[in-house]
Amino acid sequence: MLRLLYIPNESIVGDQSGPRGAFEEHLRTGRLEAYDAYSFLVEAKRLGSWRRMLDDLMQFARAFAPTAILLRIWKFVSLDCLFVEEKASHEI
């Protein structure tokens, strides 16, 4: 069963109500095993830096242990480098 981590591009938590509502409905009806969301723009502002947000996102993702991640980004954002860097650090 799918454990979905949704990483929406939103400046206010819940701004992406359409996808969030659909995922919550799938969770309620048993089509998802687990669902959670991480609003990276909101968290970057709250934590005061992009780097702290990326570190927090990695901890959040590890704790949630998703089988799938849906990343919604409409502008260039360098999250891919973090995941490559993180993977490489565990393979050394």
Q: Which residues of the chain have pLDDT under 70?
A: 73-92
Q: What is the pLDDT of residue 72?
A: 74
Residue given tokens 């819940």 in the structure block: 14
Cα-based torsion angle of the residue sequence 20, 38, 73, 41 in order, rounded to the nearest 10 degrees? 120
Query: Global pTM?
Result: 0.78
The two structure tokens encoding residue 68: 């799938």
The DSSP bridge partners found for residue 7 are 71
Q: How many structural domains is the chain composed of?
A: 1
pLDDT at position 80: 54
Q: Are 34 and 27 in contact (CB under 8 A)?
A: yes
Containing structural domain, residue 13: 3-91
pLDDT in tens, 7-20: 998 889 988 888 99
List helix spans (H) across 1-92: 17-28, 40-47, 50-64, 80-91
